[in-house]
């Protein structure tokens, strides 16, 4: 966990994965290797996403024992992925160096990819995120995305085991130097003048947000923050106003609209919309530009919609108290928001965990914007981990990425993935910055995850070509 935010000790995942690889070689059976992988996964996901318990128990009002069991099952399910890698690698007989340098990294990244797609995907703690933004391996992000960074990391881990041998030391050195060299490439170019943006952080506690009689707290706090902002674009967090758009008091809407027009600005508001009986998690604009909206497309299972309702519906109705937990997807074919001179690719909360979905709006978009509410996870590491994921999206696309969040991390991320500004977590504040739009195309924008899929297939073929050659000799 030391490589992930908030610690950011990016060499640690290389050595911890190298240790796992070495231990796998010491096992005598596939079952032992699977058990070892399971233990590694339980440690990684237990420490890394144990904050799920806070959302279920503290804010979802699930009984402690049931919330603990649900968290344990969730963690255990994702621990099955490294367990599967351990079992599979034990079944294949290969020379020690070939398994370390290629086969194990291929299997590891293939498991991460599967985790990122299966049942809608949960790409949290993909090892590549641990390298953002300072590691030289982060240079691979604009080409192969986060999974390409994971592959480089896993290959380094395998090569570390034999670093004293020339056949391992030279590729290890090359991976690091090439990654560092790629960081020097400027993939995108500035477009137009700077745009002043204000990102609002209201710090409304999750247990107050939907409570009876507490709506005015959100309305008044965010109105006060809006009226302290003089930027061209003012952005509220996800569901900052926890009310249906058509139920927003007309005088409130008019005050916000008038303030924005008087200041030649646009305000993006997080709330909900209802259409044809369906509920949408929405960001909508008021101000000098024509009114526009974006509806969240990639929803969180159980938190925002109920998968297999006939099987799991009882869990939501009987044990969880999550408001607006049965939402609909806004769909993939949504127009860019054109506000304050920028073409904005907006994504809401969990959506920025999926790089291949973010690039749907590119290269047309000049700016990335994420709005979130990580108050569900209290004072855990969830919010700073989420911010690190956003840093990877900036690196992959060569675009600045702005984050407006309820309790943090509200931040401005440069196109190289580095933090430019941020607000203190769990505080009320306004982050104002002059941001630059960018145009251009990184290789990852062109081919998305198809690039890493192709690379894994090529490397897998190379493994068996080298194995066949070894057998002949």
Residues acting as catalytic residues: 238, 296, 349
Is 14 within 8 Å of 156 (Cβ atoms)? yes
**Cα 53 from Cα 51, distance rounded (Å):** 5
Q: Which residues is 434 bridged to in the sheet? A: 196
The Cα diameter of the chain in Å comes to 83
Give the tokens for residue 127.
Answer: 């090892």
**At 406, which helix (H) or strand (E)?**
none
Give the tokens for residue 290.
Answer: 């024509």
**Cα 430 from Cα 40, distance rounded (Å):** 41
Strands 233-235, 342-348: parallel, antiparallel or unpaired by DSSP?
unpaired
**At 280, which helix (H) or strand (E)?**
strand 278-287
Is 442 within 8 Å of 138 (Cβ atoms)? no
Strands 401-405, 411-413: parallel, antiparallel or unpaired by DSSP?
antiparallel
**Cα 431 from Cα 467, distance rounded (Å):** 56
φ, ψ of residue 157 in degrees (nearest 5):
-60, -45
Give the tokens for residue 151.
Answer: 């592959």
Give the tokens for residue 366.
Answer: 């000049």
Give the tokens for residue 462.
Answer: 């190379």
Is 200 within 8 Å of 225 (Cβ atoms)? yes
Give the tokens for residue 83.
Answer: 């367990």
Give the tokens for residue 285.
Answer: 């604009």
**Half-sphere exposure at residue 147, Cβ-oriented, CA atoms within 13 angstroms:** 27
**Tokens 């999206």 found at:** 393
Is 394 within 8 Å of 366 (Cβ atoms)? no
Is 411 within 8 Å of 422 (Cβ atoms)? yes
Is 240 within 8 Å of 270 (Cβ atoms)? yes
């Amino acid at each position: 966990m030391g490589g992930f935010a908030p610690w950011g000790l990016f060499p640690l995942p290389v050595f911890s994965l190298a240790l796992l690889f070495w231990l796998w070689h010491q096992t005598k059976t596939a079952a032992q290797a699977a058990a070892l992988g399971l233990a590694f996964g339980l440690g990684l996901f237990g420490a890394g996403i144990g904050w799920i318990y806070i959302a279920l128990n503290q804010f979802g009002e699930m009984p402690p024992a049931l919330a603990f069991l649900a968290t344990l099952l969730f963690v255990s399910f994702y621990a099955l992925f490294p367990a599967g890698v351990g079992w599979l690698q034990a079944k294949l007989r290969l020379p020690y160096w070939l398994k370390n340098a290629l086969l194990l990294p291929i299997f590891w990244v293939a498991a991460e990819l599967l985790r990122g797609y299966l049942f809608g995907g949960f790409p949290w703690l993909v090892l590549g995120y641990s390298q953002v933004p300072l590691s030289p391996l982060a240079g691979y992000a604009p080409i192969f995305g986060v999974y390409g960074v994971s592959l480089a990391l896993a290959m380094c881990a395998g090569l570390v085991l034999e670093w004293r041998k020339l056949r391992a030391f030279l590729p290890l050195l090359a991976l690091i130097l090439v990654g560092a060299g790629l960081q020097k490439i400027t993939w995108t170019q500035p477009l137009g003048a700077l745009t002043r943006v204000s990102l609002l952080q209201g710090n409304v506690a999750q247990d107050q947000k939907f409570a009876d009689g507490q709506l005015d707290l959100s309305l008044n706090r965010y109105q006060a923050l809006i009226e302290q902002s003089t930027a061209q674009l003012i952005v509220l967090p996800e569901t900052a106003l926890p009310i249906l758009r058509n139920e927003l008091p007309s005088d409130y809407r008019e005050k916000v609209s008038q303030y924005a027009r008087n200041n030649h600005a646009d305000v993006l508001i997080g709330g909900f919309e209802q259409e044809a009986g369906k509920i949408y998690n929405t960001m909508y604009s008021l101000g000098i530009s024509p009114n526009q909206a974006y509806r969240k497309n990639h929803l969180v299972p159980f938190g925002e919609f109920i998968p297999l309702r006939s099987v799991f519906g009882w869990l939501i109705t009987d044990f969880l108290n999550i408001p607006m937990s049965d939402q609909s997807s806004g769909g993939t074919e949504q127009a860019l928001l054109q506000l304050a001179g920028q073409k904005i690719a907006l994504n809401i909360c969990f959506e920025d965990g999926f790089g291949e979905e973010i690039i749907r709006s590119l290269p047309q978009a000049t700016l990335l914007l994420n709005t979130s509410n990580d108050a569900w996870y209290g004072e855990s590491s969830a919010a700073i981990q989420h911010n690190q994921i956003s840093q990877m999206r900036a690196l992959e696309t060569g675009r600045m990425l702005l984050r407006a969040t309820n309790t943090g991390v509200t931040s401005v991320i440069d196109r190289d993935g580095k933090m430019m500004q941020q607000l203190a977590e769990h505080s009320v504040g306004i982050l104002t910055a002059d941001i630059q739009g960018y145009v251009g195309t990184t290789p990852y924008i062109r081919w998305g995850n198809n690039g890493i899929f192709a690379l894994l297939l090529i490397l897998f073929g190379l493994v068996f070509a080298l194995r066949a050659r070894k057998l002949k000799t």
